[in-house]
Amino acid sequence: MSGSIFLLSGEELTLPQAEIKALLETYAPTVKLELFSSRVISSTLEDPVIIEKIAERAAFCRFGGLLLQNTERIQDLSVDFSPAIIGPGKTFVASSESVDRELVGELGGAIKEKIQAKVSLEDPDCVFQVEKVDRGFVLGVSSNGFKKFSWRTRRPRARKFFLPSAIYPKLACALVNLSRVKEGDYFLDPFCGTGSLLIESSRMGMHTVGVDLTRWIARGSLLNLKGLSMDFEGIFHCDSTWHHLPIQGMDGISTDVPYGRASSTRGKDTETIIREFTDAAAEVLADPMRSKYCVIMHPSHVNFSFDGSAFELKERHFIYVHRNLTRAISILRRKER
């Protein structure tokens, strides 16, 4: 067996699958995908460096690694993997979110005997992940240990500047990933607010640019980025619905458009803001010969058309917030010229 597998988090959303697909499209656009179950995606990607990069970036991914086996019986998973997967002196653990703990323990014992490695439950060098899927079981391995989560240190209330509308880092990270930008690319959030998306894009190595209509909010975003020691290109105080923004050469855009009483819209409704911004966004994105993406989060009741626009709607995902608000995430692709 060859390729890779990614274990998604357990939210009942279409967003986790969309995020992994977007990252695979970003780093390895020619690979083929297969859905083993609602939480396990397989691909033909075999480069461990890129696999680890995708797993590290993905907000809604619990594990990413090389695919070792896919069998009908869990007892068969201990047969064909190579001892060369982890070198001498390394530690490992067998882990699962869908298989009985006793069976996982038996698999771990078989792996230990096969590769003569020590078990470390807290901080292993290598993780063997076994999961039940629609047609049996899959076994994957990551040589990067457990995936580390650090959302808490970047939560909105821990920053120097806070607004109630601030997006939490996990969702902000996913929104950046959906825009299909990678390290070294130029990323724009045209309604940056407290800087949630800018913090995540900067953390992932993008050239980060933010815009906000309100001067004191733009300054607050700047304060948050500096407070977390993030590198960025600049925060601009201007109106992103202008036809000609003073920004060019962006590789991807992602944003949460302003709405509600807590946001400054200067009297414009959300539909008008989106329509006017997308007219400007096509000129902001670099390289008109390549498809580029603009990701917009907005209330689900807001409808907008792209007839005659430079963009086409690629996909849309929904997040329930409370009974009066469901967010939609519209992923727009700029048409090639």
Same domain, 30 and 160: no
**Do 193 and 259 meet the contact criterion of CB atoms below 8 Å apart?**
no
- One domain, residues 127 and 159: no
Question: Are 54 and 76 contained in the same domain?
Answer: yes
User: Can you say whether residue 325 is alpha, beta or left, with left for phi > 0 and alpha for psi between -120 and 50 degrees?
Assistant: beta
CA distance linking residue 77 with residue 75, whole number of Å: 6
Q: At 127, which amino acid appears?
A: V
Q: Which of 142, 173, 208 is the last residue of a domain?
A: 142
Mark whether 49 and 101 lie in a shared domain.
Answer: yes
| Average pLDDT value for the chain | 90
Same domain, 80 and 170: no
- Per-residue pLDDT tens for 185-225? 999 999 999 999 999 999 999 999 999 999 999 999 999 99
Asked which of 111, 142, 173 is the last residue of a domain, the reply is: 142
* CA triple 199-203-207, angle to 5 deg: 85
Q: What is the pLDDT of residues 232-246, one digit of tens each?
A: 999 999 998 877 778
Within 10 Å of residue 165's Cβ, how many Cβ atoms? 17
Same domain membership, residue 78 and residue 31: yes
Question: CB pairs under 8 A, 24+ apart, for 317-325?
Answer: 317/13, 317/14, 317/15, 317/18, 318/13, 318/14, 319/13, 319/15, 319/171, 325/299
What pLDDT does residue 262 have? 46
Residues linked to residue 94 through DSSP beta bridges, in sequence order: 128
pLDDT confidence band for 33 (50 / 70 / 90):
very high
Whether 85 is in a domain gets the answer yes
> Of 96-105, 139-148, 194-203, 236-245, which has the strongest mean pLDDT?
194-203
Is residue 48 domain-resident? Answer: yes
Domain boundary among 91, 109, 142: 142
Q: Could you tell me if residue 96 is inside a domain?
A: yes
Assess if residue 233 is contained within a domain: yes
Q: Are residues 238 and 271 in the same domain?
A: yes
Residues 81 and 39 in one domain: yes
> Do both 109 and 171 map to the same domain?
no
Which pLDDT belongs to residue 244? 72
Specify whether 232 is located in the same domain as 95: no
Report whether 135 contacts 72 (CB < 8 A).
yes
Specify whether the CB–CB gap between 178 and 19 falls below 8 A.
yes
Question: pLDDT for 231-285, tens place per residue?
Answer: 999 999 999 887 777 888 999 999 999 885 545 556 688 888 888 888 888 889 8
Q: How many domains does the chain have?
A: 2
Instruction: Identify the CATH number of the domain in which residue 39 sits.
Output: 3.30.2130.30
Asked whether residue 147 is domain-assigned, the answer is no
Structural domain containing residue 10:
4-142
CATH number at residue 308: 3.40.50.150
The model's pLDDT over 158-192, given as tens digits with 9 standing for 90+, comes to 999 999 989 999 999 999 999 999 999 999 999 99
Separation CA 15–CA 334 (nearest Å) = 21
Quick check: is 316 in a domain? yes
Element (DSSP H or E) covering residue 177: helix 169-178
pLDDT > 80? residue 89:
no
Residues 74 and 109 in one domain: yes
- Tell whether 164 and 94 lie within a shared domain: no
Residue 131 in this model has a pLDDT that exceeds 90: yes
